[in-house]
Amino acid sequence: MPRRIIVTRKDGSVRETEIMFDRASGKYCFVNLTSHHVCACRFDTEEEAIKDLDNDNFVDHYDIILIT
C-alpha cells in the first residue's frame, strides 16, 4: 500500500515524500515530492526505508499517511 510520509527536519522545513519501487534496481527509494528529487539510496523493503528515517540526524519527526 502506498505511503506518503511528511518529514519535518530539525531546521523546521517540511518535506512530502513517498517510498516508490524502482524497477531498474528492484529496490525501494524515497521520492521527495516537494523538490521532485529521487534519493540515490536504495532499500530492500519499505520498512527498511522507514527505519532509515529513524537514523537520519536531520529528521526531527515524520508522519506516515497510508494512501488508499
C-alpha cell at 36: 521532485
For cell 497510508, name the residue: 66
Residue 48 has pLDDT above 90, yes or no: yes
- Do the beta carbons of residue 63 and residue 5 sit within 8 Å? yes
Q: Report the alpha-carbon distance of residue 52 to residue 47 in Å, rounded.
A: 9
**Residue 56 is part of a domain; what is its CATH number?**
2.30.30
Residue 1 has pLDDT above 70, yes or no: no
Number of domains into which the chain is organized: 1
CA atoms within 13 Å, Cβ hemisphere of 16: 5
- State pTM to two decimals: 0.84
Q: Given this model, what pLDDT does residue 4 score? A: 93
| CA proximity to 52, closest of 27, 24, 25, 26 | 27
Domain that holds residue 40: 3-66
